[in-house]
A and B are shown apart, each in its own frame.
Chain A
Amino acid sequence: MAGFPPAQEKAQAAAVPPLGVYVHVPFCATTCDFCAFYQTVPKGDAVRRYVDAVETEAALVPWDSRRASTAFWGGGTPGLLKAAEIERLGRIMLLYAGQPDEWSVELAPATVTPERLAMLKQLGVTRVSLGVQSFDAGLLDALGRQHTPAQVYRAYDLIRGAGFASVNLDLMFALPGQEEVQWRADLTEAMRLAPDHLSTYCLTFEEDTALWVKLSQGKVKLDPDKEAAFYARTWEFLEAAGYAQYEVSNFARPGHACRHNLNTWHMHEWVGLGPSGASQHAGWRAANPPDLTQWHADLDAGRRATADRVRLTDDLLAADAVIFGLRMNEGVSLPRLRRRFPAAGWSGLEDILPKFLLGGLLVASTEGRISLTPRGRLLADAVGADILEAFESAAKVTVK
């Protein structure tokens, strides 16, 4: 904090885009059926070794004396760390990245204790994200989640009591066997708790998960129609309840949107620490190997962010800024992006925009801001694939 007087911060913000820092805590008590995140059950001194290694990694990052304006601890289950471990990890991050304005930590209900919350608060964490998923005991069980509705309420009360600036609840819908009435009950219950922010995720079938196996065995079925209906109902419901949607799966009361995530969707910069942590920073996009042992080995060799390395180019960033930007309700300002990424194949995008506008998937403002309509938002991936192709074909033409 000390090294960053406000004046300097302002000057910096104007010169360079905001920087975020993400810390992946790769430990969970058990594995949920739907989970595709990298996590393992901690054994022996794994946590201590992990925290040590984060320190090693942070020292390898070319911070360039920039301060991270946002931080996000995800997992895995950051809350699995003991208060003392949380403190060490926090101090390490603060030492290298500075005190962020917004600092979110994901917590699983079963891990919420007054000690941990006090420590987080003391470190300067501003935002807690609670992985509720559902208030329905049966559905929680079917997901292989390790908590009960009672634990959720207890955790929520403790978090509120600790006085964090912003509290988010994660919910999931279109679960096997879940009907619309049940989902509505979950949403109603969430509203009763009055969080500042809500993330609602459609259950996704990711490869290499227990759920995927069930799908391939025909034990559960994909039903895009049902999913589409759940999405639409969710959006209507939350809007009426005063939660503005600002991204496909995210809703917030005014002033509570998650800045860290907005930063990534705007294609700014972020540094990812911990196994599977992804970075977009210092001219590169890259990730750490999603494997604790490999990550340690990389660090022992003085390396980090060794997987999926690609150079950041105007073409890459422009396409992604549009594709991921369109997932946000505000959409993207094309003139602004063109100024940021002048070398990209914008002509390709121009060619395909009319069909989306005419087809009712996109709307455009007179200042050149485009955003998806609700139907367009439901088809964001299909639109995204077309946009990607448009940028790439325009890039090819200019190369030829």
Chain B
Amino acid sequence: MPAKLTRNFCIIAHVDHGKTTLSDRLLEYTSTITKREMTDQHLDAMDLEKERGITIKMHPVVMNYPAKDGKTYKLHLTDTPGHVDFAYEVSRSLAACEGALLLIDAAQGVEAQTVANAHLAEQQGLKIIPVINKIDLPSANLELCMRQLEDILTIPAEEAILASGKSGIGIQDILEAVVTRIPAPRWTDYPTLRALVFDSKYDAYRGVVSYARVFSGTIRAGEMMALMSTGQRSEVKEVGVFRPGMEKVASLGPGDVGYVISSIKSTEDIKIGDTITHANKPAADMLPGYKEVRPMVYCGLYPLESDDYEKLKVALGKLRLNDSALVYSSESSVALGFGFRCGFLGLLHMEVVQERIRREYDVEIISTYPSVVYKVKKHNGDVIEVDNPINLPDPGSIEDISEPTIKAAVHIPNEFLGDMMNLIMEKRGSVDHTDTLDGARVMLTCTLPLNEILVDFNDRLKSITRGYGSMDYELGEYRVSDLVRMDILVNQDPVDAFASIVHRTKAEGQGRALCEKLADIIPPQMFKIAVQAAIGGKIIARDNVREMRKDVTSKCYGGDISRKRKLLDKQKEGKKKMKLIGKVSIPPDAFIQVLKTNS
């Protein structure tokens, strides 16, 4: 099929605006998937995605569409995640496309990631097709959506397609628009093979699988390929497309999106954003790659069983292939032994990575309290970066500590402005300016310390605005702040894994909250155990872990001895699933729980 009959597009939107559901209809309409095989949010293939009802990874899929003009087009669709933590997935998908369907939930209107993602698509020079989705909802407000489209996004309202992924409205209109409005693949006449590696994964049977968008040339099995950033050569073993499962094809040509498996074995040799070319006829210049993403938040991940260190290392290597935003390096902790310092794009990202390590790689892990990256200026003029509170130098040597801030765009209905301002103040933030979006909504551009928004800012925003507020953010500047290290002591012993850096004025409140939650999460203990928060040795908060009240089998006779022993064995194994710190057993997901129960 010639490249001019190929279209590449992705679906982008704010979280939950119906991207994956709409993809279902497109797959159905083009008979890529039969009704019988269809499941809800079919492309969300990962268990974790299905369970949580959110998309975590981009999902490319190829479809054939017989258009009204009588020709059959090859359409490469990529579904993307909407959550801000996975914005990097969106930006990488965009680079493999010429157009984007921008969905707007008819009942919610334009939200923060609608704007952010639309801007990303524009910057990449993509053709945007606006789709007002979920028009089946009784609360749909088409007029408002149209106005927002023009006022906020400066997209002419008449371009909008009305659709419902749920009811299957507007599906053909969308496919026609894809064919007629989105340009054919670009850069096809470059003289040699150039394919962009935009994602990858580790397949247990086939090894390293690279997701590639071919811009020019053709790649087939048996050829020698080269990765342009390193010059590394390898033999192409297999090429194929996603339908949406991996399906082997003879070759991938200009405009195609698919996968490439080569003789590359090591997970470290693949760099996302690299360009694949032919080894014997290499391209002169690389395709534009990706900006490296900077992690927003770090935590330590440790194997629950110290024997599993190597297994965790392998798991992180393989996972990173499929999650290029994840960074890690080795570190050690007094309480937890040897492990890894890992960087994430946000707390949801952090949670997803931990969950995937547990499920996909079967390593039980425990994490430390998360931290952002601080810059510490010492009296001698040195500036060091600290992403682990334990590495904070002696207070006497510190001139000042700066913390990262974010520039946030907060979209809210007008009536919640006052409450929102209070929340921003409480979180040590400031509003830089206020823009009216349309008659009913405002956008606050504000600066906030990153560590204040990590935990519960989004939940509070949602509850203040009854679900109608949303936020997008990017890293801002560093600013000097009055920060101190808060230690947590369990049974009088400081536990390095629990330390955090907090603003002095908030230390007491946060210390109290943390102690209370830890005391609640730690299962009842045989002994009286205190959880305390301290700053520089001074206790600022304390709570007690619940004491076990009763744990005894009532009846225990000769016949029961074997049975009782089995029960004790089970009990003993259960304890092994937790981390023994001092003499206290701590559940491995203690911090995820702490952060979650935050209200």
A interface, CB within 8 angstroms of B: 20, 22, 24, 72, 74, 201-204, 224-225, 227-228, 231, 248-249, 260-261, 264-265, 270, 272, 276-278, 280, 285, 287, 308, 310, 320, 323-324, 327, 355, 359, 361, 377-386, 388-389
Contacts and interface: CB of A to CB of B under 8 A. Distances in A.
A272 B560 CA distance: 12
A28 B540 CA distance: 62
Nearest to A359: B527
Interface residues of B, number: 27
A320 B565 contact: yes
Contacts of B70: none
Contacts, number: 108
Given A248-B556, A355-B583, A377-B552, 9 more contacts: A74-B559, A201-B555, A204-B554, A228-B549, A264-B558, A276-B559, A381-B552, A382-B548, A385-B572
B117 to A, nearest CB: 45
Given A225-B549, A378-B551, A385 B557 contact: no
Contact of A264 (B526, B550, B557, B583): B557
B161 to A, nearest CB: 49
B526 A379 contact: yes
Nearest to A310: B562
A324 B558 CA distance: 10
Interface string B548-584: 1111111111111110110111011001000000010
Contacts of A203: 554
Nearest to B565: A320
Nearest to B559: A278
Contact of A228 (B550, B568, B571): B550
A211 B1 CA distance: 68
Contacts of A231: 550, 552
12 contacts: A20-B558, A74-B557, A74-B559, A227-B550, A231-B552, A248-B556, A278-B560, A287-B559, A327-B552, A355-B583, A378-B551, A389-B572
A107 to B, nearest CB: 17
Contacts of A359: 526-528
B558 A270 contact: yes
A201 B554 contact: yes
B78 to A, nearest CB: 45
Contacts of A227: 549-550
Contact of A22 (B526, B556, B559): B559
Contact of A380 (B527, B549, B552, B559): B552
Q: Which 9 A-B pairs have the closest CB atoms?
A: A264-B558, A228-B550, A359-B527, A228-B549, A385-B571, A278-B559, A202-B554, A380-B552, A382-B551
A327 B552 CA distance: 9
Contacts of B560: 278
B558 A272 contact: yes
Nearest to A269: B558
A248 B552 contact: yes
Contacts of B556: 248-249, 265, 324, 327
Contact of B554 (A248, A277, A323): A248
B569 A388 contact: yes
Contacts of B571: 381-382, 385
A382 B575 CA distance: 10
A280 B558 contact: yes
B567 A378 contact: no
A141 B567 CA distance: 30
A388 B569 CA distance: 8
Interface in B91-128: none
B338 to A, nearest CB: 20
A378 B549 CA distance: 7
Contacts of B568: 323, 381, 384-385, 388
Given A228-B549, A381-B567, A385-B571, A278 B554 contact: no
B21 to A, nearest CB: 35
B315 to A, nearest CB: 26
Given A359-B526, A379-B526, A278 B550 contact: no
A284 to B, nearest CB: 11
A109 B144 CA distance: 80
Contact of A382 (B526, B528, B565, B583): B526
A24 B559 CA distance: 10
B572 A388 contact: yes
A318 to B, nearest CB: 13
Given A320-B565, A385-B575, A379 B559 contact: no
Contact of A249 (B526, B555, B565, B575): B555
B38 to A, nearest CB: 35
Interface string B523-553: 0001110000000000000000000111111
Contacts of A287: 559, 562
A385 B551 CA distance: 11
A382 B553 CA distance: 10
A308 B567 CA distance: 14
A320 B572 CA distance: 14
Contacts of B548: 379, 382
A384 B583 CA distance: 16
A379 B552 contact: yes
Nearest to A327: B556
B553 to A, nearest CB: 6
A74 B557 CA distance: 11
Contacts of B555: 201, 204, 249
Contact of B550 (A308, A310, A379): A379
A127 B161 CA distance: 89
Contacts of B562: 278, 285, 287, 308, 310
A264 B558 CA distance: 5
A355 B567 contact: no
Interface centre among B556, B571, B572 (most CB of A within 10 A): B556
Nearest to B529: A359
Contacts of A204: 553-555
A162 to B, nearest CB: 25
A223 B548 CA distance: 12
Contacts of A310: 562
Interface centre among B559, B568, B583 (most CB of A within 10 A): B559
A308 B555 CA distance: 20
B584 to A, nearest CB: 11
Contacts of B561: 264, 278, 280, 285, 320, 324
A251 B558 CA distance: 18
Interface centre among A224, A228, A379 (most CB of B within 10 A): A379
Contacts of A308: 562
A78 B211 CA distance: 73
Contacts of A20: 558
A357 B569 CA distance: 23
A272 B559 contact: yes
B558 A22 contact: yes
A280 B558 CA distance: 8
A118 to B, nearest CB: 28
Nearest to A356: B526
A183 B569 CA distance: 33
Interface in B496-528: 526-528
Nearest to A316: B565
Contacts of A285: 561-562
Contacts of B557: 74, 261, 264
A78 to B, nearest CB: 14
Interface centre among B528, B557, B569, B572 (most CB of A within 10 A): B557
Interface centre among A249, A265, A385 (most CB of B within 10 A): A385
Contacts of B550: 224-225, 227-228, 231, 378-379
B530 to A, nearest CB: 13
B559 A277 contact: yes
A225 B569 CA distance: 24
B556 to A, nearest CB: 6
A231 B571 CA distance: 22
